[in-house]
Chain A
Amino acid sequence: MADVVVEQGRVVRATGGRKGSSLRNALGRKSTVAFFLTLPLILLIALLVLYPAFYSVYLATLNKAMTKFVGLSNFTFLFKRETFWMVVRQSCIFAITAVIFKALIGFIVAHFVHNIPAKGQRKWRGMLLVPWVIPPAMSTLAWLWLFDPSYSAFNYTLSFFGVGPIPWLGDTFWARFSVILVNVWYGAPFFMIMYLAALKSVPDQLYEAAAIDGANWWQKIWHITLPMMRNIIAITTLFSLIVTFANFDIVRILTSGGPLDTTHLFATWAFQVGIQSSDIPLGACVSLFMVPILAVAAIFILRDVTKRGNEA
């Protein structure tokens, strides 16, 4: 490899003889080329991701007019507000419940798709992934219309079974249920696709060996499928936990946090406080509370990714 690089440097020097050869030499060198190739990426990450992330910590320590340093008083102010604790609780309930159901439904559906003959799998897979393809802002509008207080198509259907009109978005319990339902609907296909890819990679011989040993379907799942898919399940769940925890679109469009702020997540509340009520420091403060859980999930994902990188 090393003499290849030297060879290439000589070629560059031979073809472009006009400029100073030392400069040409430096430009032809591998590390210089690599630096210039990655420079746009480094700039983008540094200026538009890392800088804002740290700037947000600084913003969180200012007063509302952003003229004075107030230390941690934004945080202590939040701790005294009941709405804040409600948002914390609701974010955790929302993320954990939604991820569990997404993972379960994804797993079940992936199994059913895997069960049917290979010829029809493509068609079913294609159909079942549609919720993930539609932009969430658009599909949530359809759910909003399905949940409409006076024209709800669900309530129309339920009325035939004698189930009275359900206040889907008007009542705290049902509003929480609805935002989770829509999130599960949107995210379950992603799990389905990931699990399906993982299921395909489990060698058939393992199942045959288990069948010879007399394992029933549950034992096959517990002792073969789950251990073989452990990595994919872990990484998909952690990734989904991050995305769900930071969700904005669904709650914003469906309830805007109502009724009485009971469905707010960190993202939607930060938007309301920071942008709509233009208290930027407090909004930054709210969104910073997402960092701990994101960091924990990120560490686990990273460990998994590097571990598999070493194995390969």
Chain B
Amino acid sequence: MSTLAIDKGGPSRKVKYGSMSRDRTWALRWSYFFLVLFAIFFLTPPIYMLITSLKSSAEISAATNPWWVFHPTLSNYVELLTSNQFLRFFWNSSIVSIVVVIITMLISIPAAFALARMKFWGSATLATGVFLTYLIPDSLLFIPLFKTLGVVQDLTGITLLNRWYVLLFIYPTLTVPFCTWIMIGYFASIPKELDEAALIDGASWLQTLTRIFIPVALPGLIAATIFAFTVSWAQFLYPLVFTTSVDQLVLPVGITTTLIKGDVFNWGQIMTGALLGAAPPLIIYAFLMDYYIAGLTAGATKG
């Protein structure tokens, strides 16, 4: 097979392309060479975060080699992890993300079940509508939502602006459509015989959902959960617009607005904060990479 490829390669192209098709080891070497280059490009910022987070302010302002730590110190970590303000951000982010994941699942699993299995009037339109909603970006909705919250606050007297809990029902607009969409895909791939058997045995729709669909589609459920968590954790625009007081901020906004203040940039602490803020998604990714990637690719390959 390979000899044929050489013969037909043509004399004029041999010099230019020959090594790729002729010699597997050379192709492999080039692949590794470029992969290393791209890995350097992709990993420079996170590694630089880590390097800077281990430096003291004195070492940073001394402007020595920025790519090396001469006197590693954990003082930035100690300072941030004992600061009430930073812990508050972390706490706000955690509670918001976890509650949003629960709300998202409570909304999207039943809806996906209904859309995947019970063909009813308008179900196809609704499924398409869910997908379209996923394409509406946050940057289109933040201004009307901000104004709406203000109006509702004036009408009902419930404080909504500048409160972290308002994020609990704003974030699901970002997570629910996509989670519903990929759950429809997972549910639709379950063989019909399975739930028909359950119905014949006298199970209700709810029992079919909890006893059969959820256990069978568990990988999809995990992928959707990871997606909902990472999206809520990373969301920056909504909390930036809706919350301002320091005790109401979530991590991304807290780090960018409180640690960068005036002309004094405490870069050691900013990088430490950024690294700690990036840690939860990175840890989830490290342990559940396959589910993470399944969720990422499901949106386009399923459906």
Chain A interface residues toward B at CB < 8 A: 1, 4-5, 7-8, 11-12, 30-31, 33-35, 37-38, 40-42, 44-45, 48-49, 51-53, 55-56, 59, 105, 108-109, 112-113, 115-117, 122, 124-139, 141-143, 145-146, 148, 150-151, 153, 156-157, 185, 188-190, 193-194, 197, 208, 211-218, 232, 235-236, 239, 242-243, 246-249, 252-253, 266-267, 270-271, 274-275, 280, 283-284, 287-288, 290-291, 294, 297-298, 301-302, 305-306, 308-309
Q: Which of chain B's residues have a CB closer than 8 A to the CB of A136?
A: 234, 236
Complex CA gap A236/B41 in Å reads 22
Does B256 contact A253, Cβ atoms closer than 8 Å? yes
Does A41 contact B140, Cβ atoms closer than 8 Å? no
Interface membership of B252, Cβ < 8 A = yes
Complex CA gap A212/B237 in Å reads 54
Residue on A nearest B118 in the bound complex, by CB = A34
Spot the interface stretch: B72-80, B82-90, B125-133: B125-133
Does A246 contact B139, Cβ atoms closer than 8 Å? yes
Provide 28 A-B residue pairs closer than 8 Å at the C-beta atoms, listed in order of the A residue: A30-B118, A37-B118, A38-B115, A52-B141, A55-B148, A56-B140, A109-B38, A115-B31, A116-B31, A117-B28, A128-B35, A128-B38, A131-B45, A133-B285, A134-B45, A137-B255, A138-B234, A193-B296, A213-B8, A214-B7, A215-B5, A216-B9, A246-B139, A248-B237, A252-B236, A271-B240, A274-B143, A305-B303
Cβ-closest 7 pairs across A and B:
A214-B8, A135-B234, A246-B137, A267-B139, A52-B144, A41-B111, A137-B252
Does A248 contact B138, Cβ atoms closer than 8 Å? yes
Q: Which of chain B's residues have a CB closer than 8 A to the CB of A143?
A: 45
State which of B2, B20, B34 has its C-beta within 8 Å of the C-beta of A108: B34
Complex CA gap A230/B217 in Å reads 29
Interface membership of B218, Cβ < 8 A = no
Does A145 contact B271, Cβ atoms closer than 8 Å? yes
Does A53 contact B34, Cβ atoms closer than 8 Å? no
Q: Which of chain A's residues have a CB closer than 8 A to the CB of B143?
A: 56, 59, 270, 274-275, 280, 283-284, 287
Does A134 contact B38, Cβ atoms closer than 8 Å? no
Q: Which of chain A's residues have a CB closer than 8 A to the CB of B147?
A: 55, 59, 280, 284
Residue on B nearest A111 in the bound complex, by CB = B31
Does B300 contact A235, Cβ atoms closer than 8 Å? yes
Complex CA gap A145/B205 in Å reads 55
Annotate B1-24 by CB proximity to A: 1 below 8 A, 0 otherwise.
Answer: 110110111100100010011000
Does B230 contact A305, Cβ atoms closer than 8 Å? no
Does B132 contact A298, Cβ atoms closer than 8 Å? yes
Q: Which of chain B's residues have a CB closer than 8 A to the CB of A53?
A: 136, 140-141, 144
Residue on B nearest A267 in the bound complex, by CB = B139
From B13, B113, B256, name the one whose CB has the most chain A CB atoms within 10 angstroms.
Answer: B256
Complex CA gap A53/B28 in Å reads 51
Given A44-B172, A197-B297, A242-B137, verify A214-B196 contact (CB < 8 Å).
no
Does B300 contact A194, Cβ atoms closer than 8 Å? yes
Give the distance to chain A from B211, nearest Cβ to Cβ, in Å: 14
Does B255 contact A141, Cβ atoms closer than 8 Å? yes
Q: Which of chain B's residues have a CB closer than 8 A to the CB of A185?
A: 41-42, 45
Give the distance to chain A from B285, nearest Cβ to Cβ, in Å: 5
Complex CA gap A249/B170 in Å reads 18
State which of B5, B137, B172, B282 has its C-beta within 8 Å of the C-beta of A134: B282
Interface membership of B102, Cβ < 8 A = no
Complex CA gap A59/B240 in Å reads 21
Contacts A142-B48, A193-B293, A243-B137 given; 7 further ones with Cβ under 8 A? A108-B34, A109-B34, A129-B293, A135-B252, A185-B41, A216-B17, A290-B137
From A33, A108, A138, A197, name the one whose CB has the most chain B CB atoms within 10 angstroms.
Answer: A138
Does B140 contact A112, Cβ atoms closer than 8 Å? no
Residue on B nearest A54 in the bound complex, by CB = B144
Does A138 contact B296, Cβ atoms closer than 8 Å? no
State which of B2, B39, B301 has its C-beta within 8 Å of the C-beta of A197: B301
State which of A49, A133, A213, A305 has its C-beta within 8 Å of the C-beta of B141: A49
Q: Which of chain B's residues have a CB closer than 8 A to the CB of A305?
A: 131, 303
Interface membership of B123, Cβ < 8 A = yes
Given A31-B118, A56-B141, A151-B63, verify A12-B237 contact (CB < 8 Å).
no
Does B111 contact A37, Cβ atoms closer than 8 Å? yes
Annotate B165-207 by CB proximity to A: 1 below 8 A, 0 otherwise.
Answer: 0000110110011001000000000000000100110111100
